[in-house]
Structure 1
Amino acid sequence: MNRLHFLIFLFVGFLFLACNPTAKQNVEQQDSVVYPNLVKVKLTGKVDLPDSTQVYINTDENTMQPLLSARVLNGSFTLSGELDEPNFYNVVMQKQKFKVYIENGKDYHFEGNVSGGTIKSGSFQTNSVAQNNYQTMENVLKQELAALQKKSAELRLSFDNPKTYQGAVEQYERLSKQRDSHPDQLRKRYLDDPTVAAAFKIYLIKESKIGKDNHSTYYQILTGMPDSLKQLSMYKQAMSKVEQVHDFFAKMPDFPDIHPRNIVGDSLNLADLRADGSLLFVIWGSWNKEAKADIQQLKNKSAALHKLGVQPIFLTWEKDFDAWEKASKDLSLGKHNYRLNAADQEFMVTNYAVRKLPHYLLVNAKDLKLINYAFTYPLDGQLERKLKEELAK
């Protein structure tokens, strides 16, 4: 190719690029930033607060940075702008937070209740299903807890009468347990309801305590969410929280065939205990008063444990041999009282989350399958009942 042909080729190529709109569009696309979950916000409010009172939006994860801000004027305000994604945000005024799920295409209006120049309460009028689910659940929880509290208060007169005292105490304890468990039960009702918005279910899981009884259910709910919601930070936070617990249980190994030694130097041989129905491993320490008190009560139940086919085995990672020997003698722990080595201790901590003493593991003696990696020894005299419940599962 001579020099003239080369120049002609370059000129034609330049004309092609200059006249090709597709090529120009591709360059522009590379230079632009895309926010696929961007939310356009216009949130109005009516609140009888002084002019110039600040109103702003933030998140629980970043309370120091207002994302959108406005000022009250003539009892009204408007928060407008853009947010990175649909999420539960806080509308903040006078240090009071009002939670709201903000998503695209929905209308939001806040009505505040003010007394003495201070905002006391407020709610959102909106066509967002997730936000209405949230507000309804909060109101139901408040009403039902108040009803339980009222029933408890009505028992006071019964406490003063010796004839009704015992029955009143038992009823008060039942009501106390209902109050403690009620938020979890209400949360479960909403998670089981197919009409509840998926975004609100994600929020409920994100705010929940994840454990043995719910990790699998929560994992199934989250994996079944629409793909559009799986891109949101709220979903990623909830799934990360659930996955950590889910993986812990899914990967939890059987109890290892360990061979620690007791005080006289004999090794634990788990194969010799296969005829026992279950093994209750008690991890304790001579320095721990709670552990020693529990063990004493456990020994008082030896006949009941034998009847249930449960063999207690005491384990410690005591460094002070003399302290362990003395405490073992004081408690009359017998031969099934062993000291773990460093590797076995690390195994217990890593795989069974043994971090607080006393800790109890209930294990099938025949195959060393875990029945309960964290059996809670009850100090209320209900050990036999609790063990029967576990062994019947």
Structure 2
Amino acid sequence: MKAYFTYSCILLVFVLQACQSNRKTETKNGGIVKYKITGKVDFNDGMQVYLQNYDNELQQFQKTTVKDGEFILEGELVSDGIYNLIVKTDYKDKDTGKKSFRITYPVFLENNCDYEFKVQKYRDGNVIQAAEIITNSEASNNLFVFEKEVAKVKQTWDTRREALSNEAAQLKASLMTIGKGEDSKYNYAIDRMREAGKESQELAKKNPREEVSSLFVNKPEHRTSLITPYLFKYITINENNYARYWTVLDSLDASIQQHPLTIAAKAKVERVKNFYEQMPVFPSITPRNIKGDSLDISKFRDSKLLIIALWSSRDRFSKMDIPTLLNKEPQLKNLGVSVIYLSVEKKFEEWETGNKSLGLGLNSYLLNVTDKDFIVNNYNVSSFPTYIWVEPKSLKIKELRGGDPATPDFLSAIKKAL
């Protein structure tokens, strides 16, 4: 009897492990998700429980209420993904002595998984202070870890920004105490205030979700989890990382390769991949300037960046923006950036008149029909002015839609590109 019991226990363990293993390797192709979330809440009969779109709070789904200390929230969704589980009370009668509250719990819902909402701690009689969702969904459990990491990174950045703010305030106060002959001390305080302000601004622009997503998707243990392709929505794909992220997506488990989330993530990376691997380099064209001299694009090889400004005298935005770029050329030159102006005019006289009115001088060239067609068609130029950023030595395209010189962040974008 004892031997039989032992054998039964071992068999049960193997069955449970097999079920978990099968769940991970089960093919997931997307489609309708049937879910069921159960929960037990001791002190809030009548409390509302419902699902909400993770990225859009205005979009809400099925609702239910707590009855006799329990709830069941079930239904169908159009796709796997992250949804917010909202638990909410609204006590309008002040005599109840109970407090209203609303708490959000992100959860990744997928088919064939169990979800149980469990309260860990209450405060003020009925307010849920801590709770967890117990599930066998690998993606959900990964999500819970992800959310904690995001909160941790955000807290680190907030702490750093607070420290920078305090430092800047102290430096500003110290300026009042700096006397004559202490120029170096004064200049240090001013420079450090600027540096602190710049660092604080950069931190404010950063997205902790992108930071954590980048680290998260690169971990080999997440290759079977749908959270990996999902997190690509937060990641910026560029020339420096597309190959690495393509390798990550290509190495995902076969069970999720055909899922819409994986397909969407691959499409996002593939657009950048194709851009840099299939985009033709900028041609070594030889258009002529107003004096009839041919453009020698090789003379710009020592520049750090080459801006090709495509314009038309017929276009009113060209008339507004091109002078702005022209005025910023001294600053661009200091950064190692060169500018070439290429006109797409059909008639020489129109280009000559437009060139003169804008004051472009000898660094402006008129494209012939063949070169114009190549550039417009291969680089999908649909409006003017268009600024193509080129790597001078290789003539590879860095940006098909370079920054607008009339925008405040133009020079910042240039510095970032460098």
* TM tier, smaller: 0.5 to 0.7
Query: Which of 183, 196, 206 is matched with 1:171 structurally?
Result: 196
Distance 1:179 1:35 in 2: 38
Residue in structure 2 matched with residue 207 of structure 1 by the alignment: 234
| Mapped partners of 1:75, 1:349: distance in 2 | 66
The Cα offsets for residues 161-184 of structure 1, whole Å up to 9 and x where unpaired, read as 324343122112113213323533
The residue number in structure 1 matching 2:328 is 297
- 1:148 counterpart residue number: 160
Partner of 1:108: 116
Match for 1:73: what amino acid? K
**Deviation string, structure 1 residues 123-143 (Cα, Å, up to 9, x no partner):** 634454322233223322432
**Which residues of 2 match residues 165-244 of structure 1 at below 5 A?**
165-181=190-206, 183=208, 184-196=210-222, 198-244=225-271
Contact 1:49 1:114 in 2 (8 A): no
Q: How far apart are residue 214 of structure 1 and its match?
A: 3.2
Deviates more, 1:151-160 or 1:74-83: 74-83
Letter in 2 for 1:153: S
Task: Decide which of 301, 304, 308 is 1:277's aligned counterpart.
Answer: 301
> Where does residue 124 of structure 1 map in the other structure?
133
Counterpart-to-counterpart distance in 1, 2:170 and 2:351: 51
CA 1:327–1:167 in 2, change beyond 3 Å: closer, same or farther? farther
1:135 alignment partner in structure 2: 147
Residue aligned with 2:227, SS: helix
Gaps of 5+ in 2: 1-26, 89-101, 176-185
> Does the 8 Å contact 1:268/1:336 carry over to 2?
no
Whether 1:316 and 2:343 are equivalent positions in the alignment is yes
Contact preservation (8 Å) 1:130, 1:199: no
2-structure distance, mates of 1:369, 1:85: 40
Compare 287-296 and 119-128 and name the one that shifted more.
119-128
Tell me the secondary structure at the aligned position of residue 150 of structure 1.
helix
Q: What SS does the corresponding residue of 2:308 show, helix, strand or coil?
A: strand
After superposition, the Cα gap between the structure-2 partners of 1:356 and 1:144, relative to the gap in structure 1 and judged at 3 Å, is: farther
Conserved in 1, the CA contact under 8 Å of 2:84 and 2:105?
A: yes
1:361 aligns with 2:389: yes
Equivalent position amino acid for 1:51 in 2: G
Contact 1:361–1:375, Cα closer than 8 Å, also in 2 = yes
User: 1:295 offset after TM fit, Å?
Assistant: 2.2
1:91 CA displacement: 2.9
* Contact residue 49 and residue 73 of structure 2 kept, 8 A: no
Q: Matched residue of 1:274: which SS?
A: helix
Q: Which residue of 2 aligns with 1:91?
A: 85
Quote the sequence identity (%): 24
Confirm or deny: 8 A CA contact 2:28 2:255 kept in the other structure: no
Assess if the C-alpha contact under 8 Å between 1:363 and 1:372 holds in 2: no
Alpha-carbon distance in 2 for matches of 1:153, 1:181: 17
1:106 touches 1:126 (CA, 8 Å); kept in 2?
Answer: yes
Q: Give the drift of 1:122.
A: 7.1
- Deviation by residue 1:27-46 (Cα, 9 ceiling, x = unmatched): xxxxxxx9976766332346
1:22-101 matched pairs, under 5 angstroms: 41-45=35-39, 51=46, 53=48, 55-56=50-51, 66=61, 68-73=62-67, 76-80=70-74, 86-92=80-86, 98-101=105-108
Greater shift, 184-193 or 215-224, is seen at 184-193
Contact persistence 1:314–1:337 (CA under 8 A): yes
Provide, for residues 291-334 of structure 1, a one-character-per-residue CA deviation record: whole Å limited to 9, x for no partner: 423322314665x68xx7x7642123468988865664466533
- 236-245 vs 35-44, which moves further: 35-44
Aligned amino acid, residue 124 of structure 1: I
Partner SS, residue 242 of structure 1: helix
In the alignment, residue 55 of structure 1 is paired with which amino acid? Y
Question: 2:116 is matched by which residue type in structure 1?
Answer: Y
Aligned to 1:161: 174
Q: Hey, what's the Cα distance between the residues in 2 that align with 1:207 and 1:80?
A: 28
The Cα shift of 1:353 comes to: 6.0
Question: Which amino acid is 2:277 matched to?
Answer: A
| CA distance in structure 1 between the partners assigned to 2:377 and 2:133 by the alignment | 46
Write the distance in 1 (CA, Å) between the matches of 2:300 and 2:287. Answer: 19
Paired with 1:351 and 1:122, the residues of 2 have a C-alpha distance of: 55
Q: Deviations over 1:176-224 (max 9, x none)?
A: 2133235333332223333446422211113334333333322221111
How many Å apart are 1:254 and its aligned residue? Answer: 1.3
Aligned length: 345
TM-score, normalised to structure 2's length? 0.63
Contact 1:363 1:369 in 2 (8 A): yes
**Residue equivalent to 1:20:** none
CA deviation profile, 1:249-271 (whole Å, cap 9, x unmatched)? 2220111244545445x3745xx
